[in-house]
Structure 1
Amino acid sequence: MKFDRKLIKRFASFLKGSRKMVMISIITAILSSGIGILLPFLVGRAIDSINEDGVDYGTLTRYIVIMLVLIVISALFQLFMNRTNNKISYNVTEKIRNEAYGKVRKLPVSYIDNTSVGSIQSMVISDCETIGDGLIMFMNQFFAGITAIIFTLVIMLVADWKLALFVLVFTPVSFLVSYFIASRSFSSFKAQSEIRSRQTSFISEGTGNFRIIHLFNINEMICNDFDKINEDYKRTSRKATFLSSITNPSTRFVNSLIYAGVAFIGAGHVTSGAITVGLLASMLAYASQFMKPFNDLSSVYTELSDSMACLTRIFKFLDEAELDDDLTSENVDEDLTWDREGDFEIEFKDVSFSYVKDQPVIKNVSFRIKAGSSCAIVGPTGCGKTTLINLLLRFYEPDSGEILVNGKPISQVPRNTLRKYLGVVTQDTWFRNADIMENIKFGRPLLSDEDAISTAKVSGADSFIRKLPNKYHEQISSSRDDISEGQRQLLSITRAMASDPCILILDEATSSVDILTEVKIQKAVKDLLKGRTSLVIAHRLSTIVDADMIVVMEDGRVSEIGKHEDMIDSGGFYSKLYKSYTE
């Protein structure tokens, strides 16, 4: 693994608010490690208090008491350091996770459409967790390890420079073994992170669409596909784990050889009278202790390989191109806003658009919706109806042409400002995991409960809400099964009505409900449309015969514009479409 300086510098920026705690952690690590380094020296002196003349109990007791005091102090410093490091790690992980999640709302819809939900989930949850674990291990062991190495080396050089030199000469062998193994584990950890993302995406997709899977009886195929991903993960993880697991045993083997060499050479020094038995015991302890930080640092290096792979993926995500306007701007130019009490006219002016370059979906579309009128857009599947809605909502930008509201190009209006004037009811209903009241007030949180209930009565949703155990305080979510599709649509319409939009967009709002439910929804829609400029997309042509204007789309172009009766009489494409629907 090669440490990218830019990557590390960028990561360090997340530590800005924790710099004092980092300094405290480093200081406590040095103190805890430094105190621990003194213990082998004191043990050696205590051993030397026992000689052929007997035991000097006074000296022995003094050293034992000093060691006990130092052990307690070192443990307290260790405890404080661990608590501080945990706090640092969780603070940094929270910042990275918040920034990654906040990035989602700044990305163009095109990125979200082309990226699996599971991949983003894995990155925001699992990858951030891995980074936090790596930071904790680094803070717990790196500074303490460096301190132990320096202090131990100094004491050994003072006590017996020959033994110290022997240890120092062979120590790089241990470090090189660790580096050689760990450097090859980075690619495996990176691949492991990517496959983990695929796993999360696959599980999310499977659990979210389990009815379709059962309906088409493809359970076995789905399980087989998951087994393949799981097999890839097992193989990659096994390699990564194997490489990381042999680091410690390999370095310990080298360290054991160094320890044996110190024992052999030291024994000769004792017999020659160059050092005492107590000092030899201290040197053996220091030889072992000198190698331990290298083992710990090798573990840190291996853990950082995994963390760096995750960090690289997250920063790549954070560097994705964002939307081109300020979504958080609160000081919008008044010239770029409209009076909510006024009328709203919409005009598509020679608009063309393609999701894929050179493959246009919308071609030179032009039409105008008069203020306060309703416009229905009809046409076969894939003709570009929903794409027009996406362009009006500024989920995408036209390749050419422009869309105007009251003569102002919406491309000059910040997206969050534009969407305050729009209300949308789609075929796919989505609700927060919250109670019904909170969902009704989703687009207008300051709306009173009384006004929210009044809106539900107008839409017709009040009748089924009253039958629920907790009524308006009943907890709901998009996955709840005991609320029908029609009831969901009524609730979705209620939510749109509660936001009091100036322009209303209905995208296939009744396509998934039965005829009786459709009648209820149509009544609610009529109340919702009163006095509002509206754009309606519908496959059921019976729902749009009363529209003030109908735009017929065919192959990405406008083929007809007019009222229902006029186009039926003309015998054009709409007439044929309507006849095929009614027959």
Structure 2
Amino acid sequence: MSDKRKEEPQMRPAMPMGRGNFGRGNMPVQKAKDFKGTLYRLTHYLKPHKYRLLAVLLATILSTVFGIVAPDLMGKATTILFNGATGHGMQFGAILHILLVLAILYIFSSLFTYVQQYVMAGVAQKTVYELRKQVNDKLSRLPLKFYDGRPNGDILSRFINDFDNISNTLQQSLAQLISAVVTFVGVIVMMLTISPLMTLVVVLTLPLSIIVTRVIAKKSQVFFKGQQRSLGKLNAHVEEMYTGHKIVKVYGHEKKSINQFKEINEQLYGFAWKSQYVSGLIMPLMNFIGNIGYLLVSVIGGLLVMKRAIEIGDIQAFIQYARQFSQPITQLSSISNIVQSTIASAERVFELLDEMEEVAEPKDATVIETPKGEVQFEHVQFGYKSDAPLIEDMNIDVKAGQTIAIVGPTGAGKTTLVNLLMRFYELNGGKITIDGKDITHLKRSNLRSLFGMVLQDTWLFNGTIMDNIAYGREGASEEEVIQAAKSAYADRFIRTLPDGYNTILNEEASNISQGQKQLLTIARAILSNPSILILDEATSSVDTRTEVLIQKAMNELMSGRTSFVIAHRLSTIREADLILVMNHGKVVEQGNHHALLAKGGFYAELYNSQFTANSASNVVRVI
């Protein structure tokens, strides 16, 4: 497992924030390369919802303002009670009126909070829905070289984790950001109306809180990075050990594996408890600083009450405001990290949307209604890199119904030829025609519907055997699926399974054998009834008996169809109509088996080397 994979930071969905969220705020934050540009681009997706966002803004402001006014009214009620208790007469009507107003304020505050969350949830989900839809459509338009050059995990991470990150931030953090700003401004205004002197005392504690937070955050950041790095190593180790579980058991590496796990787990434990311990110091220290502020406020407030500068209820209201004063600062600190991570996620999503797409189809793209299967390569040139040509001036003429074998050493360009044929890659020069029509003038969907593929690496999805075979042709009936399975010699083994055609294959289809998987893919190809067939050494990893069955099924599948057979074992393609011998991207020889052997060239060398190797192998078995 590469170090890059082990140490890759894991994107996690944003979580709701509260006063105790410092630990998360100190986690390593992934930052965007172009923060402003990405933020501006993301806001474009919010433009269709501008009126809803306006409603969210208004609801958040009203909800926050109602919450800010409440302590001032409670202070007034306290003053009335205090005055009544000291012999000035109890004004129950005034107290009742204040309590009624407070109840209305709290109800409206809750109502507007609900409206804000409801509307914002709709905006967030619709925005992410549209963005996800665009990315999904984009992925279907990207060329094969994009997928060849990207790890599947990276694409999945962008499509799942990054979208979750954006969704949660839009739904939660945006409203919290507005609320935090309004609360911060509102609380300062209300404190100033009560006592500028006490406000100054509270504000002076702010720089001390910031300094303490920064110092501790800087120290904890080192441990959090170590924690993420160790977590990545642990995940990679566990994945490797469980994926290769049989190999580990066979070679007796269980003890070594356990020791490795213990070592990495101890590293993770060390970083984890240190990071949590250090970041956990923030809240107690913040509370300590806050309590010093409350102490000073209480002393100064008491002196001001004695001098009749303020009322007793004003102290109560001010202390409540002082407690609210640190909350928006805490929220803004946490939100800033989450916003950074979210913009980074958005940037990764936009990178997908900006990827180079497949060459657009011409407006007058045609279809082949009744394909014959004639294929011509005319002066074809291709290279994965412009300065490193792989195929130069390739010319091939394939008649309908012929079987064409493509042979050659590893890296000769055999699979590349097939990818060009199906237009997964674009040519650098020359052209390929099917039934006389240039494939670049055909609709891609029509072009690819002409082909059926049976590859060495079988692909079956999590579902029933019936569904996996039916994948070959949309709308196929149950009878057609069963007939295709019979033609592929798969019906017999399917019926021996507990649930027959309704047997569910797991994600890796490991609950059936390799040969059985191959028979199912052949059945799928038979059902699709293609005009041109591509076979890529479909029998290389199965036993001899199963190979015979697969060869029978393939012979039936190839009957009357143009077939391209990529072969590594040359003994399997002796009956091919035409054998293309490739080396370094060029067709160095072509002809039938007997003609190429008689020529005594590159094919004869390959064939004889395999024959010699097989003979030696048989001798070893006998000895």
Band of TM-score, shorter chain? 0.7 to 0.9
Pair 1:475-2:504 in alignment: yes
Partner of residue 367 from structure 1, selected from 374, 388, 396: 396
Equivalent in the alignment of 1:283: 318
Contact (CA 8 Å) 1:443, 1:499: kept in 2 or not?
A: yes
Written as runs of structure 1 = structure 2, the 5 A alignment for 1:18-417 is: 18-49=49-80, 50-51=82-83, 52-53=86-87, 55-164=90-199, 167=202, 207-208=242-243, 210-211=245-246, 255-325=290-360, 333-334=364-365, 336-339=366-369, 341-356=370-385, 358-417=387-446
Equivalent AA in structure 1 for residue 596 of structure 2:
M
Equivalent residues of 1:511, 1:538 under 8 A apart:
no
Residue among 436, 439, 452 paired with 1:423: 452
Pairwise mapping of residues 536-551 of structure 1 onto structure 2 (< 5 A)?
A: 536-551=565-580
The DSSP-based 3-state class of the residue aligned with 1:546 is coil
C-alpha distance in 1 between matches for 2:444 and 2:269: 45
1:561-582 deviation line (CA, Å, top 9, x unaligned):
1112222333333234334444
The Cα shift of 1:492 comes to 0.4
Q: 1:308 to 1:253 in 2, by over 3 A?
A: farther
Which of 472, 483, 493 is matched with 1:464 structurally? 493
Deviations, residues 131-174 of structure 1 (Å, cap 9, x unaligned): 33333441342222222233333333444445446656765776
Select between 71-80 and 206-215 the one with higher mean Cα deviation.
Answer: 206-215
Distance 1:80 1:239, change over 3 A: farther
Distance verdict in 2 for CA 1:360–1:367, change over 3 Å: same
Deviation of the 1:281 alpha carbon: 1.8
Residues 246 and 92 of structure 1, relative CA distance in 2, 3 Å threshold: farther
Change (3 A) 1:140 1:395: same
Distance (whole Å) between structure 2 residues aligned to residue 228 and residue 93 of structure 1:
41
Deviation at 1:536, TM superposition (A): 0.6
In the TM superposition, residue 470 of structure 1 has moved relative to its aligned partner by 2.5
**C-alpha offsets along residues 285-340 of structure 1, whole Å, 9 cap, x if unaligned?**
223323322222222223323333333333334333332336xxxx9635x3223x
Contact 2:580 2:591 in 1 (8 A): yes
Deviates more, 1:242-251 or 1:268-277: 242-251
SS of aligned partner of 2:496 = coil
Distance in 2 of aligned mates of 1:190 and 1:110 = 34
Separation in structure 1 between the aligned mates of residue 157 and residue 241 of structure 2, nearest angstrom = 15
Residue pair 1:185, 1:302 contacting (<8 A) in 2 also:
no
C-alpha spacing 1:548/1:429, structure 2 compared with 1 (3 Å): same
Deviation at 1:273?
Answer: 0.9
Q: State the alpha-carbon separation in 1 of the partners of residues 246 and 111 from structure 2.
A: 56
Unaligned runs of 5+ in 2: 1-30, 616-623
Following TM superposition, by how much is the alpha carbon of 1:277 offset from its aligned partner in structure 2, in angstroms?
A: 0.7
| Larger RCO (alpha carbons 8 Å, 6+ apart) | 2
| Counterparts of 1:364 and 1:230, CA distance in 2 | 57
Q: Secondary structure at the match of 1:553?
A: strand
Change (3 A) 1:546 1:224: farther
Q: Distance in 2 between matches of 1:139 and 1:559?
A: 64
Picking from 499, 505, 524, the partner of 2:528 is: 499
Report the equivalent of 2:547.
518
- 1:77 CA drift (Å): 3.3
SS in 1 for 2:46: helix
The verdict on how the C-alpha distance between 1:369 and 1:235 changes in structure 2, with shifts beyond 3 A counting, is farther
- Match for residue 447 of structure 1? 476
The alignment covers a number of residue pairs equal to 577
Task: Check the 8 A contact 2:64/2:179 in 1, yes or no.
Answer: yes
Shift in CA distance, 118/426, structure 1 to aligned 2, threshold 3 Å: same
| Structure 1 residue 572 corresponds to structure 2 residue 607 | no
Separation in 1 of the partners of 2:503 and 2:561? Answer: 31
- Against the structure 1 CA distance between its residues 13 and 64, is the aligned structure 2 distance closer, same or farther, given a 3 Å change threshold? same
